[in-house]
Structure 1
């Protein structure tokens, strides 16, 4: 651990008491600022700014990064109108920095898990090639799901305690396509298995998927399903699942994505929903709301730190 990170936890009793008096989200943002940011805050009692506010310099509409940093600010005014961009809601300074979070709520796998719970013929985990970073293409047919590109970065940590990264744990993700259909189940895509895949977390606890922003079908807030397994070797069927949950997407970003005609009725469906009424997220979504940055034209990046209980 770098010296500046070790010093964050050795600022003395007065600093510890001051930090404990701050709200949970403020403490998390302070930790991301590092030693200089924390000492400046404690000295001046400067309030934390709203992470959702639009920055004064718009993010550069560059391609989705292959590493985790947030989109860089533009250094010069463009000569033409830039593509639609989305301001970061709470982008971490580095996804490699450990973040201590509560356990993410356990949620239903839903009616379309494809994990063998409904029979061997509906188990994508048993198919060759399912361990893959890019889940946009079907393993069998080679057909690719269309939609706004999305880089999904999920960090698995032990909930509570030291929140250590879960090196080697596997995560299976699946979600609907732009029109709101689930591969392997929905009419017209029963023979597809795109938008389903498995990755192992690295030493930093991070697993990365290249996918598309999911559509919004009637009755459910935009979301992605996932299951945690102890290892890739055990990510073969639902009987080995450690934890199951879902992540949600911000409303404003979803509305911008759904303005694209390939998302069909998603914009109308979203207008009839709210997180407060959603059957999964209505009991609280703080631990499940992804942070999204990037450009609709060049691709979005969604990040979530997942606290896994009982590991």
Structure 2
């Protein structure tokens, strides 16, 4: 082998031993025995790949500890599935490079990377993901309904603190209503979910969104600037959530973001127009 080929295989080794260390660390942190077993299998597979490559390089490189710590903390902060899938998303390029090699061992490794890891990762049991639909319900309703309401209040009331007060009351009431609806809906459908937990996920998602959206009206004096910041905040929430969702569900970020942003801003524009029309029709000045 040429020096360049050995260098490339050594880089592969570093990647494999780094992922082995990540999976091992995550396995040690798991209280769920099923998740611990899945992660241990992933770690074992990466170590096998490391030693397969060693036959060709004759080297034993160390793992990239900064990368190990990075993904372990991402998994702890944002969830196990998100951390692993984010890491694997970044390794797609490495798998394509594997495919360029005609070596039988490396071709086998590429297949195992694509098939085994995807299969094992899909078996991971993470409670938060089981309630993703409840979070989606809370966020969608808050972003569409509440953004529209704030836009309507902005033109109807024309005072940021009045908008914040009215919006806060409306938002909290709506969050409680949505949480109660999700509780009753989950119980009625008899899904494999805890109805109380489902309602909590929905309520918390709604309230967090409400806080972010009314904050500009609390701290800013110009009601229209506050509305602009509010709508920007809505777009940021949509972007962050849909990025997370697209990673854990392996779906298109652009499509989901575009649909949700268009609906939320469209409803806000319509509500703003309704507020303007009602103000003209009633002749009420505050």
With the shorter chain as reference, the TM-score category is under 0.3
- Which of these two proteins has the greater Rg computed from alpha carbons? 2
Tell me the TM-score normalized by structure 1: 0.23
Bigger relative CO (Cα 8 Å, ≥ 6 apart) = 1
